[in-house]
């Protein structure tokens, strides 16, 4: 293989795909980027066997072929070179020579044939506004479980043809959000690593495309195609956990609650909520750090309700919202609390109260 490419083009392609490579790869080949040159340009691929990213860049191909090149080395070497054309070639026993300006590197590569098989190319793409997935991931992603519950470590997406709903839970708190968009009927349970990768890939891109290969979820942004495997377990139906009767309702400014919880986090991880006539009282106490109490004006109906909630979970729910006011519905200290946005029924969160000692 022998190509001439603009430094910025090759560096950009390497960076776009290298994000899925784990810091400690389970196999040497998984720490590489597959560089493949043909008559139409050069492509770069990277995978961790769960995620796969493929992208392309223009180049002059002097000799077609491919080689697997250590990703970190490729990026760091290109970083040291001046802007302008760079020459990349691989020869006998996969020795790689990279030249740019007056600098030349020679490193050991691996055979392209040793690289894992690429996902099948897709032709059945559906266009979406990029903001749809970004907004949904932002609103619910914080509720997904960590590595201790891998079967819940992701965001579940459901499209009914008219809207896409995203749902995430760690088994104690959950969030669900919807966005109006026509995208066919399908479901996909996207793992946590994939959510983070897609947020980076999509960014502020206005238009993306999705495809639905079996047991996978694919997203195309420009010349870059991202494919991920899915979580196999189905998440619980969050609607089954919404209490049929919630007698106490409070509406309060979201920003005021968020600031009060920010103060509460300085004292303890748990906050006692008391909803009473015309106000919400937040009290956080820690024998080693002291106490913080704040009253927030609210529109309230129903009897006084008291419950203890985890500060971080509530903050994570409120921070990404854009509504001025939130509505909190509850019953008692042992029943899930239902949270929504005033004026926007497309978001719902369930908070499970903590058992107080």
Domain that residue 307 falls in: 242-351
Stated length of the chain: 357
pLDDT at 23: 83
Full pLDDT tens readout for the chain, 357 residues: 999 999 999 999 999 999 999 888 789 999 999 999 998 899 999 999 999 999 999 999 999 999 999 999 999 999 999 999 999 999 989 999 999 999 999 999 999 999 999 888 777 899 999 999 999 999 999 999 998 899 999 999 999 999 999 999 999 999 999 999 999 999 999 999 999 999 999 999 999 999 999 899 999 999 999 999 999 988 889 999 999 999 999 999 999 999 999 999 999 999 999 999 999 999 999 999 999 999 999 999 999 999 999 999 999 999 999 999 999 999 999 999 999 999 999 999 999 999 865
**Secondary structure of residue 330 in the 3-state scheme:** strand
Examine the domain organization and report whether 207 and 260 are in the same domain. Answer: no
Examine the domain organization and report whether 178 and 98 are in the same domain. Answer: no
16 burial level (CB within 10 Å; 0-12, 13-18, 19+): buried
Q: Total domain count for the chain?
A: 3
What's the CATH number where 105 sits?
3.10.150.10
The three-point CA angle 168-235-225 to 5° equals 65
Examine the domain organization and report whether 72 and 44 are in the same domain. Answer: yes
Last-in-domain residue among 89, 114, 139: 114
Q: Which residues pair with 228 in a beta bridge?
A: 51, 217
- Please name the residues in contact with 92: beta carbons below 8 A apart, sequence gap of 6 or more: none
Q: What Å distances lie between residue 156 and 135, 174, 261, 276, 286, CA to CA?
A: 14, 11, 28, 36, 37
């Amino acid at each position: 293989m022998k190509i001439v490419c603009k430094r910025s083009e090759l560096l950009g392609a390497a960076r776009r795909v290298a994000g899925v490579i784990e810091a400690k790869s389970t196999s040497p080949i998984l720490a590489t980027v597959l560089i493949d040159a043909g008559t139409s340009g050069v492509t770069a691929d990277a995978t961790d066997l769960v995620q796969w990213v493929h992208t392309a860049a223009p180049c002059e191909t002097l000799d077609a072929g491919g080689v697997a090149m250590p990703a970190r080395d490729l990026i760091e070497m290109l970083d040291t070179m001046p802007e302008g054309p760079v020459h990349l070639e691989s020869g006998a026993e996969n020795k790689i020579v990279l030249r740019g300006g007056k600098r030349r590197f020679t490193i050991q590569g691996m055979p392209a044939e040793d690289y894992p098989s690429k996902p099948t190319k897709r032709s059945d793409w559906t266009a979406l506004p990029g903001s749809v997935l970004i907004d949904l991931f932002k609103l619910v992603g914080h509720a997904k479980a960590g590595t201790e519950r891998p079967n819940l470590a992701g965001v579940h997406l459901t499209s009914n043809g008219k809207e896409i709903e995203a749902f995430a839970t760690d088994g104690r708190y959950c969030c669900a959000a919807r966005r109006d968009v026509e995208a066919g009927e399908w479901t996909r349970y996207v793992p946590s690593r994939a959510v983070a990768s897609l947020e980076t890939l999509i960014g502020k891109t206005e238009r993306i495309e999705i495809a639905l290969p079996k047991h996978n979820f694919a997203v195309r942004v420009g010349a870059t195609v991202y494919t991920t495997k899915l979580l196999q377990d189905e998440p619980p139906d969050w609607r089954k956990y919404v209490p049929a009767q919630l007698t106490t309702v409070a509406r309060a400014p979201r920003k005021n609650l968020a600031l009060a919880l920010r103060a509460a986090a300085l004292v303890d991880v748990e906050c006692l909520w008391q909803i009473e006539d015309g106000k919400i009282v937040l009290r956080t106490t820690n024998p080693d750090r002291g106490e913080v109490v704040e009253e927030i004006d609210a529109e309230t109906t129903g009897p006084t309700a008291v419950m203890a909630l985890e500060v971080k979970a509530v903050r994570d729910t409120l921070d990404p919202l854009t509504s001025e006011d939130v509505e909190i519905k509850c019953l008692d200290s042992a029943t899930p609390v239902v949270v929504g946005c005033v004026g926007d029924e497309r978001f719902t969160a369930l908070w499970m109260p903590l058992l107080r000692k």
